[in-house]
Amino acid sequence: MAASPTRDLSSARDTIYQAISAIRLIDPHTHINPHSAGSTTLADILGYHYYTELVHSAGMPRLEIEEPGIEPRELVRRMVHGLGNITNTANYHWLIQICREFFDFTDDAITLDNWEDLFDRSEQKMASPDWAQTVLDQSNVEAVFLTNDFDDDLSGFDTNTYIPCLRTDDLVFHLAKQEVQDRLEACSGIANDGSLKSLHAALRQRFVHFVSKGARACAISIPPSFQPTPVSDGRAQNAYDSVLTNGTDANPEDIAALSRKVFWTLAELCDEFGLPFDLMIGVNRGVYPGGVYQGQDLYDSRVSLIQYRELFNAFPRVKFPISVLASVTNQELVSYSWIFPNVLTNGHWWYSNTPSFIHRDAAARLEAVPRNKQIGYYSDAYKLEFVLPKFDMYRRILARVLADEFVGENGWSEEKAIELGRQVLRGNVDEIFRAPQAIDESAPLDEFGNPAVIAGRTSDGTNEDLDPVPSDAEIDSSGVSDVTLSETTADDHATDLDHEIDAVPLNVGDLLGDKNPSGPDAPGSQIHPIAGDGEFTPDGKSMRLRPDPMTGELHFPVDEDEKKSKGEG
């Protein structure tokens, strides 16, 4: 190949960095409170768990930081005393950048000598009534995704700027708590009669609510041990009975079964409503209970995406943007995204959100995952001021990888590299989180008073095309499309074929060959229905669902030897 690997790439890095910094962003995952999006004092900035946990870890007692009733100025004063121990961290770097970008700060450290001036000056700026919009504009940010509790009424803010996202951790992992049951009943308006049916209806009502308010994604964070599997209705009803009777004291197996049932149901609803399901995989909550608020969670890096095998196979139409907590899982994420059409790479999360991990993880993705399946970054910010420095950290690394590997090693032009940067920074966010089909107001209502038809599908999810807006360029490929309608994200990543595909046989069975499914429709999947007799036949071979000896739940095991191994290797 022509490119010399040794040319000076300084100029390419700069050019690319400047170009991608000019892209107006949509931040696809934050914890911003839309009613209080910007900070009001430096205490909002320094109170971010990254600073409190690091300063605590470096030696400051928790109670100095979390003293009840402490005033903002006093908190900042105390925090400043601890900052000297964390000046090396990427998080401190964000802090200085915020102060320089937004508060006219010119020093390179916050010290006992300068903090009070900074506090006063920043407080004055933040007091501006349009501070949030100022920050958005100065950060070149068009919109941010939120993280909304399932019972959020989603009112009182502009959902074009603050885009709702249904966060489901409580529903999946805490439904045994009376408080969560009560909240669900109250917000959905659907009485809990103890049946799975009413539970399903309440969950579905939440989707109707969120989608009608402009939600673009469903999301959840998941511990390393979780393995999604379908749970039969009988088993699930038993588990639900147990949980409703005993609450958090219920048999752990029952609580776990209910978790899996709710999770699976959410995936079905994402399928029905056309919502991507953001999975954030790997966190153990409360590992250090003596830590500061939000600074108690850690993880076991021994997690594998093989645990999600059944999910990815069962829901080919649901897009799963996936974040992994530990960089050691990044190669699995790359490989699964490389193979599964519905698995997408999503940002650099939490403990992997520091430069060296971003660098290696981003480089691995950029060279191996289809470019239309990579969501480069999200800020995860709690306050708007953090969007800029976090994205800027990513942009600098992205520019480095694009310049070094694509311009330098691959011989790309800077323009081509910038285009790739644009796609992972913004273009894919637009494509992947497109607004789902609007709720059809004239649709018939189900027995719970919710619309029975969504996104061209019936509420049992068995119907029709996913793509709400076929592009003009799309061809008439009716023959093929009849049989490929359930082929995952095919329509979403429309291949703009400019021709007619010759008619192909319409006999689905012939076409699918040994992949011909048998049996009645299964929830969430047309291509791999689970037959009534418990057989799953993706290969035309019997791949038996096996009941768990402890719980009676059905699953199919990782099946390593079934296929004649003529693949790679």
**56-75 positions binding a copy of itself, by CB under 8 A:** 56-64, 67-68
Do residues 219 and 165 touch, judged by C-beta distance below 8 A? yes
CB of 236 to a copy of itself, least distance (A): 18
| Span interacting with a copy of itself, options 2-10, 185-193, 438-446, 455-463, rule CB under 8 A | 2-10
146, 32 contact by CB (below 8 A)? yes
Single out the segment in contact with a copy of itself by CB under 8 A; choices: 19-27, 236-244, 355-363, 444-452: 355-363
Q: Which of residues 204-223 bind a copy of itself (CB under 8 A)?
A: 221, 223
List 204, 348, 390, 400, residue binding a copy of itself (CB under 8 A): 400
End-to-end CA distance of the chain: 26
What are the distances in angstroms from CA 241 to CA 183, 199, 209, 440, 527? 18, 12, 27, 34, 32
- Work out whether 352 is an interface residue with a copy of itself (CB under 8 A): yes
Which residues between 539 and 568 bind a copy of itself (CB under 8 A)? 539, 543, 558-568
Kindly state whether residue 391 participates in binding a copy of itself, applying the rule CB under 8 A: no
CA dist 353 and 435 (Å) reads: 28
Rounded CA gap, 367 and 353, in Å?
A: 20
**One residue of 227, 304, 458, 463 binding a copy of itself per CB under 8 A:** 304
Which of 51, 103, 299, 433 touches a copy of itself by CB under 8 A? 299
DSSP character string of 295-346 = ---EE-S---GGGGHHHHHH-TTS-EEEEESSGGGHHHHHHHHHH-TTEEEE
Q: Does 315 help bind a copy of itself (rule: CB under 8 A)?
A: no
Cα-based angle 377, 266, 182 (whole degrees, multiple of 5): 110
Return the range that interacts with a copy of itself (CB under 8 A); candidates 53-61, 123-131, 265-273, 442-450: 53-61
Selected range binding a copy of itself among 199-207, 269-277, 280-288, 432-440, rule: CB under 8 A? 280-288
183 sits in the region (left: phi over 0; alpha: psi -120 to 50; else beta) called alpha
Question: Are 291 and 53 a contacting pair, CB within 8 Å?
Answer: yes
138 lies in the binding site for a copy of itself (CB under 8 A): no
Ramachandran area for residue 110 (φ above 0: left; ψ -120 to 50: alpha; else beta): beta
* Closest to a copy of itself by CB, 453 or 522: 522
Of 125, 183, 434, 515, the one binding a copy of itself (CB under 8 A) is: 515
Quick one: which segment of 20-28, 191-199, 333-341, 442-450 binds a copy of itself (CB under 8 A)? 333-341
In 3D space, the residue among 394, 404, 407 whose CA is nearest the CA of residue 2 turns out to be: 407
Residues 440-499 that bind a copy of itself (CB under 8 A): 477, 480, 483-484, 487-499
CA atoms within 13 A on the CB side of 254: 18
Of 226 and 448, the one with the shorter C-beta distance to a copy of itself is 226
Question: Closest separation between CB of residue 46 and a copy of itself, Å?
Answer: 14
Q: At what angle do helices 49-57 and 72-83 cross, to 10 degrees?
A: 50
- Least distance between a copy of itself and beta carbon 267 (Å): 16
Count of residues that interact with a copy of itself, criterion CB under 8 A: 165
Spatial distance between the Cα atoms of 279 and 168, rounded to a whole number of angstroms: 10
Q: Which is nearer to a copy of itself, 139 or 459 (CB)?
A: 139
| Nearest-approach distance from CB 129 to a copy of itself, in angstroms | 28
Asked if residues 526 and 462 have their Cβ atoms less than 8 Å apart, the reply is: yes
- Does 425 participate in binding a copy of itself (rule CB under 8 A)? no
Confirm or reject binding of residue 93 to a copy of itself (CB under 8 A): yes
* Binding flag, residue 182, a copy of itself (CB under 8 A): no
Which residues 362-381 are close enough to bind a copy of itself by CB under 8 A? 363-364, 366-373, 380
CA distances for 131 relative to 118, 137, 187, 391, angstroms: 17, 10, 32, 20
